[in-house]
């Protein structure tokens, strides 16, 4: 009987232990499930944060002016920003393709290989024949994993074309200014030395030399004035004193000034601008535009040159003025360059006439500051026509 009681007690105890184990197992299962859910949530959050970080980086890279390309360890493109797509004119997605397949430029592949060996390649400049007149600077850096294993390469492309162009323009400008100043200064110095060495004692020769000195001194004055004018026009936004102006009256004023300032009347100027034609412009600066164009026509025209200034409205939004002459004309290959600083079609004749080579450049800047444009049409032996188009009443774009 005692064995039965003991057995029953053990059974009850065993059942209680099993119950406790089952209950504990259930609690463990719940805890494990909770932990698993937390792990899944953390993994999801981690992926979400990684994606957000990647999107932020991509947004940052896409907002950069520099081209960015990120390669994996097999030289396949993992990321390329918008600037790089525009720079290399890629018509289809480059992701997943090798750098050589996407760009077809052996110089870039050589830099990638070099970066894997040396970790960094900085300041490599090249001019890809595939990109017309484009100069690129490439910086490449090898990417590493936490185990210090190289996993890819990041390429940063800087387009130096504009900077190089500005450098060349500056060098050309300095060289032109130096030449333009040196020529009259050398002549003035030479004639002064001749006068001092004895020519001053011969009145006819001294008078002729002094006239030549005065001519070149005037040329220096005109050159410096034009340099100051174009410097002001190019140094920043031009302040225009705009007001409604009658273009017919303005043209009449320019013609009267030309007739009074030039004694050798080998030219005629005709004002065909309608009396009702007007625009909201800076009258002083616009008179400078017309004066420069008329002065050019007189200087480089033949004896008896005839100049006609006309104008009309275009779509009631723009005014177009035309300054035409029957002079020798301009070669077709020079029409695109005549508005460049110091560019001359006939250098010898231009200097003989006292031109500075800056007049048409000043014209272009003044017209553009009004929100307009200027261009020329010409045929050798049949004269030249300059077309000036400006808004009637709108302010120029910022």
Are residue 188 and residue 98 in the same domain, yes or no?
A: no
Are residue 252 and residue 383 in the same domain, yes or no?
A: yes
- Where b means 16+ CB within 10 Å and e means fewer, 216-253 reads beebbeebeebbebbeebeeeebebebeebbbbebbbe
Residue that finishes a domain, picked among 15, 38, 58: 58
Considering only residues 16 and 95, tell me which one the structure prediction assigns the higher pLDDT: 95
Please report the pLDDT score of residue 283 as a whole number: 86
Are residue 353 and residue 213 in the same domain, yes or no?
A: no
249: which 2 tokens? 């009256």
Report which of 310, 283, 309, 277 is spatially closest to residue 392, judged by C-alpha positions.
Answer: 277
CATH of the domain at 225: 1.10.287.130
229: which 2 tokens? 């004018």
Are residue 197 and residue 334 in the same domain, yes or no?
A: no
CA distance 319 to 312: 6
CA distance 170 to 179: 14
Are residue 254 and residue 213 in the same domain, yes or no?
A: no
> What average pLDDT does the segment 355-384 reach?
84
Are residue 171 and residue 259 in the same domain, yes or no?
A: no
Asked if 269 and 294 touch (Cβ cutoff 8 Å), the reply is: yes
What is residue 245's three-state secondary structure?
Answer: strand
CA distance 163 to 136: 11
Task: Give residue 198's region: left, alpha or beta (phi > 0; psi -120 to 50).
Answer: left
Are residue 278 and residue 364 in the same domain, yes or no?
A: yes
> What average pLDDT does the segment 122-148 reach?
83
Task: Give residue 255's region: left, alpha or beta (phi > 0; psi -120 to 50).
Answer: alpha
DSSP string of 259-282, one letter each residue: HHH-----EEEEEE--TT-EEEE-
221 band by pLDDT with thresholds 50, 70 and 90: confident
CA distance 382 to 325: 9
Residue 390 burial (CB < 10 Å; 0-12/13-18/19+)?
A: buried
Are residue 363 and residue 247 in the same domain, yes or no?
A: yes
> What average pLDDT does the segment 124-134 reach?
82
Q: Is the pLDDT of residue 187 over 70?
A: yes
Are residue 263 and residue 375 in the same domain, yes or no?
A: yes
Bridge-based pairing state of the strands 136-144 and 120-126: antiparallel
Q: Is the pLDDT of residue 354 over 70?
A: no
Percent of the chain with pLDDT over 90: 9
CATH of the domain at 116: 3.30.450.20
Are residue 321 and residue 351 in the same domain, yes or no?
A: yes
Structural domain containing residue 212: 163-236
Q: Is the pLDDT of residue 162 over 90?
A: no
CB atoms within 10 A of CB 61: 21
210 band by pLDDT with thresholds 50, 70 and 90: confident
Please report the pLDDT score of residue 398 as a whole number: 38
Can you say how many angstroms the Cα of residue 313 is from the centroid of all Cα atoms in its chain?
31
Model confidence pLDDT, tens digit, residues 254-302: 888 888 766 666 778 889 999 988 888 888 888 888 988 888 888 877 6
What is the tally of structural domains in the chain?
4
Please report the pLDDT score of residue 157 as a whole number: 92
Q: What angle do CA 6, 11, 12 make, to 5 degrees?
A: 100
Please report the pLDDT score of residue 397 as a whole number: 42
Q: In what order do the strands lie in the sheet with 305-314?
A: 267-272, 305-314, 318-325, 384-391, 373-378
> What average pLDDT does the segment 226-252 reach?
79
Q: Is the pLDDT of residue 327 over 90?
A: no
Q: Is the pLDDT of residue 396 over 70?
A: no
CA distance 57 to 348: 59
319 band by pLDDT with thresholds 50, 70 and 90: very high
User: In sequence order, which ranges of the chain are alpha helices (DSSP H)?
Assistant: 2-62, 82-87, 99-103, 106-118, 161-196, 203-234, 247-261, 283-300, 347-352, 359-369
> What average pLDDT does the segment 116-140 reach?
86
Bridge-based pairing state of the strands 150-159 and 136-144: antiparallel
Please report the pLDDT score of residue 238 as a whole number: 67
Report which of 148, 80, 149 is spatially closest to residue 108, judged by C-alpha positions.
Answer: 80
Model confidence pLDDT, tens digit, residues 36-92: 888 888 888 888 877 777 777 777 777 788 888 989 888 888 888 888 888 888 866
Are residue 119 and residue 251 in the same domain, yes or no?
A: no
Considering only residues 33 and 149, tell me which one the structure prediction assigns the higher pLDDT: 33
Residue that finishes a domain, picked among 236, 256, 286: 236
Are residue 180 and residue 326 in the same domain, yes or no?
A: no
CA distance 37 to 33: 6
Residue that finishes a domain, picked among 14, 29, 58: 58
Asked if 385 and 323 touch (Cβ cutoff 8 Å), the reply is: yes
Please report the pLDDT score of residue 298 as a whole number: 83
């Amino acid at each position: 009987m005692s064995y039965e009681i003991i057995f029953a007690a053990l059974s009850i105890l065993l059942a209680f232990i099993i119950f406790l184990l089952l209950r504990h197992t259930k609690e463990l299962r719940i805890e494990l499930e909770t932990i698993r859910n937390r792990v899944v949530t953390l993994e999801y959050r981690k992926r979400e944060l990684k994606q957000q970080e990647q999107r932020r980086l991509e947004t940052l890279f896409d907002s950069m002016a520099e081209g960015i390309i990120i390669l994996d360890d097999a030289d396949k493109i993992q990321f390329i920003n918008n600037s790089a797509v525009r720079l290399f004119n890629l018509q289809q997605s480059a992701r997943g393709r090798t750098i050589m397949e996407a760009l077809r430029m052996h110089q870039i592949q050589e830099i990638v290989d070099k970066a894997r060996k040396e970790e960094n390649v900085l300041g490599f400049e090249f001019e890809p024949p595939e990109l017309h007149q484009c100069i690129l600077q490439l910086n490449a850096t090898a990417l590493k994993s936490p185990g210090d294993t190289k996993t890819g390469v990041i390429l940063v492309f800087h387009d130096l074309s504009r900077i190089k162009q500005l450098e060349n323009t500056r060098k050309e400008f300095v060289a032109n200014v130096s030449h333009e100043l040196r020529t009259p200064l050398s002549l003035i110095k030479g004639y002064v030395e001749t006068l001092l060495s004895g020519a001053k004692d011969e009145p006819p020769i001294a008078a002729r030399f002094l006239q030549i000195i005065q001519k070149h001194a005037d040329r220096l004055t005109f050159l410096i004035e034009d340099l100051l004018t174009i410097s002001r026009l190019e140094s920043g936004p031009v302040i225009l004193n705009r007001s409604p102006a009658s273009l017919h009256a303005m043209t009449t004023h320019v013609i009267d000034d030309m007739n009074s300032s030039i004694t050798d009347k080998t030219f005629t100027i005709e004002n065909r601008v309608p009396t009702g034609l007007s625009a909201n412009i800076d009258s002083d600066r616009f008179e400078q535009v017309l004066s420069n164009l008329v002065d050019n026509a007189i200087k480089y025209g033949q004896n008896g040159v005839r100049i006609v200034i006309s104008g009309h409205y275009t779509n009631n939004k723009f005014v177009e003025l035309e300054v035409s002459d029957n002079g020798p004309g301009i070669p077709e290959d020079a029409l695109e360059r005549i508005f460049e600083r110091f560019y001359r079609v006939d250098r010898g004749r231009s200097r003989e006439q006292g031109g500075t080579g800056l007049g048409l450049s000043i014209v272009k800047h003044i017209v553009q500051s009004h929100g307009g444009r200027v261009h020329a049409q010409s045929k050798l032996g049949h004269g030249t026509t300059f077309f000036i188009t400006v808004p009637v009443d709108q302010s120029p774009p910022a």
